[in-house]
Structures are given as structure tokens and as C-alpha cells.
A and B are shown apart, each in its own frame.
Chain A
């Protein structure tokens, strides 16, 4: 199989990830008691928080790193925890439904929502963003990189705009974390939401919510905390205050092993390797008559995804044939990003997304290009 669906989840994971998860089954419940196994679980969580804080340069360090069930959980926690009826929030048409749906729900509850459009190449209108962000805006919520086009948002520009108006910047790093340089400190990010299982190479079921000191979020979940049991309210201190219930310690341990592997390999080297495969895929596919590639490809500073269609083929059918006849795993459809697809003109049929990873080989990309070329001749 040629796996080109790393944007959905990366594979294979480094072997150390599974090993760490199995070993973590022997750990106690982190934060429940102070016996050896419980403290060992807590030490594991602490160590991984430190790794995350270093990797993403989280202001305030390990104490500001919250574990979640994934990026969707992190984004819901961030948005529901931050916004109240009467608040104004700005987002973009480049967003995934994990941003849009919580915001639509909040809009029903009285939050004022403004969506900045994207053009036919999926580029965010910064002019429009500048016009709609005002001092009465509570937050700007935007993706670092589109999960459809791979276009990268100019977060430094958005951050400056937010700082000018005293507005919080919430970033969805689902497609950039582990693939592109991402620093909360340098980019002026207030809240960063990440999945553990994509570019970070960790297991599914673990995500990250990194919160700048001073930003207060109401907890999405309350319940067991292991402390202050007679209080009617959940403790507020981070990270425990946003981690009600038993933590996913095997997932945390797996993520820690993945981060250690990434650091050991050198993230910059892996990014360069992945970008090279993306460039090869792009150059090969665009030379095939009938292929349409979506997005702004004037730069290769982008997430390693490529959305395409082939004339005469419906996206779902093309993806199915690519897998069944050529063993190429791709993702057809709307990719949970309806506004982006509307802007691209791909409609409800969407497109076929191919996403490479650091382990994708030259030959795999060459074979994929050859498969599409053959199907183009059929069409």
C-alpha cells in the first residue's frame, strides 16, 4: 500500500510509540494518590508536558500544557471556554468543522460570529480580516494551515493585528504541528490546539491545548480531580483544572515517545524531506492533462497536503480506484471543510486529498503519479 492520508492520521508510527504505550499500561492513575505507580503516571505526564512546552515554545512552560482527547476536544474547550453571549469572534472560511461547528453552536447562544472569506485559491482575505477585527472582538480563531489546500496562514500578521486590538489569537495547528515551525512565543499565539496523531506521530486519542498564562478558560468537562472533593466546583489551576477525569496515560506516553523520536531525528530534516515529496507530487500531477490542483502553490512553505480532481472522474470514485487498483490510500470528499470547498468551487463532491509524510518515498510518489496518468488516459 502507498499511504497518502497522513493528514487524516500519520503512519507508520515510530516503534517506540507503541512500546511506550504498552509500558504505560503498568502506570497508576496520574494525580490519584501518591503511591509509586500513581506518581510514576504523573511523572510521565509531567515529562511529556515539558517536551511539548519545549517543542512549541509554550509561554509559561509545562504547566500551560493541557492534555485532551484530540484537536477537536482542544478546540471545543478553547472556544466554549472562552466565548460568552455578546462576544464577537472572527474566524476564516479556511477552517475545519472542528472550529466552525463549535462557533455555529456558540452563535446560536448569542456569540457574534464573523467569517473572513477565502478566494478561489483558498487564500484568506487579510484585508477583510483587518476590517472586521476591532477592539470589541474577543478572539480570532484560525488554522495555521488548511487541511484541504495546505495553504499556510500568515500567523505573524494575524498576531500583530490581534495585539493591536487586544484580541486573543486561537490557532488550530492540526495540519502544521510536527510539519512546520510552530512557536507560540515567536508567533504570538494565545491558545494552540493540536492533535497528537498527525504530524506529531503519536497515537490517536490524545491532543494538546496550550494556553498562554493569563488566558482563562471555563472548563468544558468537570468531575473527578483527585483533590478538593468536597468542593462543588472543579479546581481551576492549570493544567489539572482542564483535565477532569482520568487522563489517557498510554496516549500521553505514546505522544512523549513520538516527540522524542521527532527531536532525535531533527524536525527540520523531516520537514525538508516531506516537502521534497510534496513538491515531487505536485510537479508530477500538474503535468497530467485533466488534473486540477487546488490552492496557492506559489510557495512550498505549506502543509504536506494536495487536493486534486481529475477530469471525467468523481472524487470518491477516483479515490476508490486508486486504492483498489493501485493500492494508493487517499481521502476524497469535503474533508470537513465545507466553506473552503465552496470557495474552491469543488462543491459537495469535493476533491481527492493526497497527503505525504516523512516516510513517504520517491518511488511511492512516482507510482502515484503514474497511476493518475494512466487513469487520465482512460477518462
Chain B
């Protein structure tokens, strides 16, 4: 069984929000990538942005500046 680590997961109500998140995070040099939403989470658009826990503050700040509203921000063993 692969060992799981705690990760930050951000979900969105639409694919456009998810795409915008990916574009802006990568443009800002922040870590993370889009993954299929794990079954345990009820999420809108089917995509979640997965990133290391220590990037949480920077990612949320970037989202606030960009006007991106997360559907959920959770920490999860993945």
C-alpha cells in the first residue's frame, strides 16, 4: 500500500475557476496541480488543486487577490 501524506486540497464550483487557479498559481511560481476530486469530497467541478500544506497561506492569498472563491479548502491524506 502506498504511504499517504497530508495534502492541501482546494475545490471549485466550475472548471473555469479550476483552470484560472492553475494558471495563476503556476504563473506565480507556486506549487501544486489539478487532480480528480477524491470521492470523500463533494465538489462541484470534478477537479481539485492539490498542493503541499505549507503553501496554504500563499495560495489562499493569491486566490483572494484574483477573486477566486474556493468551494472547499481541506487537508486530506492522499
Contact = CB atoms under 8 A, between A and B. Distances in A.
A133 B45 CA distance: 39
A48 to B, nearest CB: 11
Contacts of A238: 14, 16
A42 interface: yes
A239 B19 contact: no
A237 B14 contact: yes
Interface string B13-25: 1111111101100
B45 A237 contact: yes
Interface in A62-85: 62-63
A253 B18 CA distance: 19
B41 to A, nearest CB: 12
A225 to B, nearest CB: 8
A239 B14 contact: yes
Contacts of A49: 16
A240 B36 contact: no
Contacts of B44: 227-228, 235, 237
A218 B46 CA distance: 21
A42 B36 contact: no
A102 interface: no
Interface centre among A49, A62, A237 (most CB of B within 10 A): A237
B36 A33 contact: yes
B49 to A, nearest CB: 10
Contacts of B20: 46, 62
Interface residues of A, number: 20
Contact of A46 (B13, B16, B35): B16
A217 to B, nearest CB: 15
A31 interface: yes
A101 interface: no
A235 B15 CA distance: 12
Interface of B, secondary structure class, is mixed
Given A33-B36, A34-B36, A39-B34, A237 B46 contact: no
Contacts of A327: none
B15 A31 contact: yes
Interface string A8-50: 0000000000000000000000110110000100110110010
A30, A34, A226, A228: which has the most chain B beta carbons within 10 Å? A34
A8 to B, nearest CB: 32
A343 to B, nearest CB: 42
Interface in B1-41: 13-20, 22-23, 34-36
B46 A46 contact: no
Contacts of A43: 19, 22-23
A368 to B, nearest CB: 45
Given A31-B46, A46-B23, A237 B13 contact: yes
B4 to A, nearest CB: 18
B35 A34 contact: yes
B59 to A, nearest CB: 18
A43 B18 CA distance: 10
Given A34-B34, A34-B35, A227 B16 contact: no
A39 B46 CA distance: 12
Contacts of B34: 34, 39
A239 B35 contact: no
Contacts of A237: 13-14, 44-45
B47 A34 contact: yes
5 closest residue pairs by CB, A with B: A46-B19, A227-B46, A63-B16, A237-B14, A34-B36
Interface of B: 13-20, 22-23, 34-36, 43-47
Interface of A: 30-31, 33-34, 39, 42-43, 45-46, 49, 62-63, 226-228, 235, 237-240
24 contacts: A30-B15, A31-B46, A33-B36, A34-B35, A34-B36, A43-B22, A43-B23, A45-B19, A46-B15, A46-B20, A62-B16, A62-B20, A63-B14, A63-B16, A227-B43, A227-B44, A227-B45, A227-B46, A235-B44, A237-B14, A237-B44, A239-B14, A239-B15, A240-B14
